[in-house]
């Protein structure tokens, strides 16, 4: 067993490198991913190792990147494309939702499009507009896509590997704020759970906190802080947005009776609402309180000096926990 | 404005139109294209003539099948037969063709029988032919979306070492087709960019049939379409799209250059959509009868017949036989469509993902549970009435 300590970004780099070594059909495409190594340096060193044919600096055009990636899938390639920032995926929205997601369906299974789209997402880095968004619900609404989001280095490595190995198109939302947070990565032993299972990262009995991506650490901190008030909160990292591992959440809620969902995306119309609906369908007699959601507001992502107020933080999560317990 | 050097042409005519056969059937020489069509025999041309007659017959039959309620919609390719048959046959067997939704002649040239296209229009599938087997991309309803995909396929060919080896029988290129309206889509421009940047072996082919539903081509572009790609460094040509010989020659040259590693090129084929945009369209609202008549005189099938007659390559008997075969094809189509069963709705859940997806599985199970209530009720009702009958 070879466990190393790596920041999430470097764990993803290692995942990309090992996937490229394992399968020569794997290739990377995106803006500035070659010599520069990507604006977040996630592809750092890969151009040097694999060359410009496998780590392709593309022209600036997201529809072109995803569209040509689909054509490459038709030739048996497994392109891993980087969208530089969350807010710039929209020029490619058409290729992703009307094309990539539906190729397998409309060809009745004759064509596979095993593309991976990596999107650094989320706020908290003091960025200018269109650099801090969480558009996962916009893609989860489209059947044919798989969506995952790592919250730690181990998942950064293994989700990258599994996304590349998947014969379906996979979007990996990478929590950019946490790219440099270190964690243990075992690159030898593949976790048995797979990329689509939720994981209880902190067991507890008084209420369940459900989060994913960058919000997992917020939920954990809230749970730690709540111990001071004698509260024992369970924390679940959803890990996968599509499919969503509802059963793990339902199990937990049946034990705790309470659910607070935390994500950065604006709450209205987001994935939290979908999970809340399913939990109330399946846990109606176990719930001690309505499912509560903590997330972004129905505003554009605000200028950086206000993002602290916008993002769900420890206090807003604890406030929701208090409201849940007050029922 | 003196520092601005671009002159915007007033008319499309400012761009030469290459033609090998005039509407009256006379042959005009053209140094480069003549060489590209020189190998075509009388038999080849008779085949193209027959192909054009066949797809027109199928097309007219599909329109009437739509009128009879057998198809939800049909997009006719009437008038565009030369552009499609010429381009389709200019492609070599190994080439990959990436059409929009009106390219029935391309499909025919690839050996896809018309009824295999009808599932989409009848509403029983989003497509079902195998793109690999037929080296033809699925029909595309999102305009322009297939264009970067075509370029990506071409980039794949480069990587696979199938470009520029000098072997014309295995070196491969991609031909993607789209309309004058589609050429305004951003994704077509991105396709140009990627093809030019990587010199991907792609031939972009616009059938300028003058109309994008009700909007004329002049609204799509201030310059003749053929000039558009030049800003990307992609060479282009404007040809008579109703002249099967000119189309064949230009596409052959372009595809061969692409397969030899010379990069992308762009062809504007000037033609006319003789029918409505689709069976739901009413062209009398936006275009003049006189214009339709003017183009009817340039009909691609009549033109090739006149040319072949002048060359003594066809006689009345051949022309009549083609008509008969067209009629037979229409009858076969009529028969096939009536035999097409609706799929079991459970198919809704098939092929959403390559690997199992719990939500799709759960919804499939829920659908089955829901449906079985009615089946049980139906069975019960049936057995009750059978009971009744016995009494
Ligand atoms: C992205 C997109 N926008 C709008 C439409 C609706 N639409 C269908 S056909 C058409 C006109 C297409 O014109 P053109 O590209 O010239 O092709 P033609 O139908 O003339 O062959 C429009 C606007 C569409 N299918 N896709």
pLDDT of residue B156: 98
Query: Which residue among B130, B191, B355 places its CB closest to the CB of A110?
Result: B130
Q: Which of B286, B320, B327, B338 is catalytic?
A: B286
How big is the CA angle at A133 (ends A245 and A290), to the nearest 5 degrees? 45
CB within 8 Å of chain B, chain A residues 223-242: 242
pLDDT of residue B387: 53
Ligand 1 atom with the shortest distance to the CA of B212:
13
Task: Tell me whether residues A146 and B353 touch, CB distance under 8 A.
Answer: yes
A-chain CB neighbours of B153 within 8 Å are 71-72, 74-75
Task: Tell me whether residues B152 and A59 touch, CB distance under 8 A.
Answer: no
Judge whether A258 and A286 are in contact, CB under 8 Å: no
Query: Which residue among A94, A109, A196 places its CB closest to the CB of B351?
Result: A109
* Token pair for B2: 């003196």
- Determine whether the shortest distance from the Cβ of B181 to ligand 1 is under 6 A: yes
- Determine whether the shortest distance from the Cβ of B142 to ligand 1 is under 6 A: yes
Adjacency order of strands within the sheet including A292-296? A199-202, A233-237, A207-211, A259-266, A292-296
Query: What span, in angstroms and rounded, lies between the C-alpha atoms of B241 and B98?
Result: 18
Judge whether B255 and B225 are in contact, CB under 8 Å: no
Task: Tell me whether residues A61 and B126 touch, CB distance under 8 A.
Answer: no
Report the residue among B143, B228, B286 best suited for mutation to probe ligand 1: largest number of ligand atoms under 8 A from its CB: B143
Q: Which of A47, A104, A131, A196 is catalytic?
A: A131
Local mean pLDDT, 10-residue blocks, chain B (391 residues): 71 86 96 96 98 98 96 96 98 98 96 88 90 95 96 98 95 98 97 98 98 94 93 97 98 98 98 96 95 97 98 96 98 93 92 96 94 73 53 44
φ/ψ bin of A122: left (φ > 0), alpha (ψ from -120 to 50), beta (otherwise): left
Report the residue among B147, B209, B213 best suited for mutation to probe ligand 1: largest number of ligand atoms under 8 A from its CB: B213
Q: What is the mean pLDDT of chain A?
A: 97
**Which tens digits make up the pLDDT trace of A155-206?**
999 999 999 999 999 999 999 999 999 999 999 999 999 999 999 999 999 9
pLDDT of residue B14: 80
Q: Does A167 touch chain B (CB under 8 A)?
A: yes
- Determine whether the shortest distance from the Cβ of B153 to ligand 1 is under 6 A: no
pLDDT of residue B391: 44
Identify the sign of the CA torsion A85, A87, A88, A94. Answer: positive
- Give the residue, A225 or B168, on which the prediction is more confident: A225
Does the pTM exceed 0.90? Answer: yes
Q: Does A2 touch chain B (CB under 8 A)?
A: no
Contacts of B135 (CB under 8 A, 6+ apart): B93, B94, B95, B96, B97, B110
Residue nearest to atom 4 of ligand 1 (CA): B143
B-chain CB neighbours of A146 within 8 Å are 353, 357
Assign A209 to helix, strand or coil. strand
């Amino acid at each position: 067993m070879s466990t190393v300590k790596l920041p999430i970004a470097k764990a993803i780099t290692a995942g990309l490198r090992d996937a490229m070594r394992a399968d020569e059909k794997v290739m990377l495409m995106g803006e500035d991913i070659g010599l520069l190594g990507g604006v977040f340096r996630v592809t750092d060193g890969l151009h040097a190792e694999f060359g410009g044919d496998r780590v392709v600096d593309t022209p600036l055009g997201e529809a072109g990147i995803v569209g040509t990636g689909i054509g490459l899938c038709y030739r048996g390639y497994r392109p891993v494309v980087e969208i530089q920032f969350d807010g710039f995926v929209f020029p490619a929205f058409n290729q992703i939702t009307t094309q990539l997601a539906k190729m397998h369906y409309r060809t009745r299974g004759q064509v596979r499009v095993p593309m991976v789209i990596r999107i650094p997402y989320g706020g908290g880095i003091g960025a200018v507009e269109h650099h801090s968004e969480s558009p996962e619900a916009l893609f989860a609404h489209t059947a044919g896509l798989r969506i995952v989001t790592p919250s730690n280095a181990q998942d950064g490595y293994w989700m990258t590997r599994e996304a590349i190995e998947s014969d379906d198109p996979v979007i990996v939302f990478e929590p950019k704020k946490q790219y440099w947070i270190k964690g243990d990565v075992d690159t030898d032993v593949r976790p048995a759970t797979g990329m689509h299972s939720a994981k209880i990262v902190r067991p507890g009995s008084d209420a369940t906190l459900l989060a994913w991506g960058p919000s997992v650490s917020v939920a954990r901190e809230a749970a730690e802080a709540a111990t001071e008030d004698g509260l024992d909160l369970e924390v679940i990292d959803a890990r996968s947005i599509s499919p969503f591992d509802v059963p793990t959440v339902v199990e937990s809620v049946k034990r705790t009776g309470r659910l607070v969902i935390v994500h950065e995306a604006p709450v209205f119309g987001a994935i939290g609402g979908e999970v809340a609906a399913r939990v109330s369908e399946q846990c109606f007699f176990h719930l001690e309180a309505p499912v509560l959601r903590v997330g972004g507001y129905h505003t554009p992502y605000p200028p950086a000096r206000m993002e602290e107020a916008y993002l769900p933080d420890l206090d807003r999560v604890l406030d929701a926990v208090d409201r849940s317990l007050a029922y | 404005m003196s520092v601005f050097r671009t002159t915007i042409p007033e008319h499309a005519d400012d761009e030469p139109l290459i033609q090998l056969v005039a509407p009256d059937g006379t042959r005009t020489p053209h140094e480069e294209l003549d060489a590209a069509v020189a190998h075509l025999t009388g038999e080849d041309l008779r085949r193209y003539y027959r192909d054009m007659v066949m797809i027109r017959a199928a097309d007219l039959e599909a329109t009437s099948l739509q009128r009879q309620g057998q198809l939800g919609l049909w997009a006719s390719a009437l008038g565009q037969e030369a552009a499609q048959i010429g381009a389709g046959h200019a492609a070599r067997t190994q080439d990959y063709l990436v059409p929009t939704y009106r390219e029935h002649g391309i499909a025919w040239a690839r050996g896809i029988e018309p009824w295999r296209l009808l599932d989409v229009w009848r509403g029983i599938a989003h497509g079902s032919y195998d793109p690999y087997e037929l080296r033809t991309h699925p029909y595309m309803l999102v305009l322009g979306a297939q264009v970067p995909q075509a370029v990506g396929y071409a980039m794949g060919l480069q990587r696979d070492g199938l470009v520029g080896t000098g072997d014309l029988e295995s070196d491969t290129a991609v031909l993607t087709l789209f309309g004058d309206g589609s050429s305004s889509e951003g994704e077509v421009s991105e396709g140009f960019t990627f093809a030019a940047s990587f010199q991907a072996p792609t031939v972009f082919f616009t059938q300028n049939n003058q109309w994008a539903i009700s909007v004329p081509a002049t609204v799509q572009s201030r310059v003749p379409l053929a000039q558009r790609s030049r800003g990307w460094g992609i060479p282009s040509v404007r040809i008579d799209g109703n002249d099967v010989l000119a189309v064949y020659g230009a596409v052959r040259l372009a595809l061969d250059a692409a397969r030899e590693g010379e990069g992308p090129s762009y062809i504007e084929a000037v033609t006319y959509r003789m029918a409505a945009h689709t069976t739901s369209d009413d062209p009398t609202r936006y275009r003049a009868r006189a214009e339709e008549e003017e183009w009817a005189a340039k009909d691609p099938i009549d033109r090739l017949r006149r040319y072949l007659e002048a060359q003594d390559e066809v006689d009345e008997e051949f022309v009549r036989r083609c008509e008969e075969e067209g009629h037979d094809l229409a009858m076969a189509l009529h028969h096939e469509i009536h035999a097409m069963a609706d799929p079991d709705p459970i198919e809704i859940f098939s092929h959403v993902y390559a690997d199992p997806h719990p939500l799709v599985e759960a919804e499939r199970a829920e659908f089955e549970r829901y449906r079985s209530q009615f089946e049980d009720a139906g069975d019960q009702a049936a057995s009750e009435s059978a009971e009744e009958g016995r009494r």
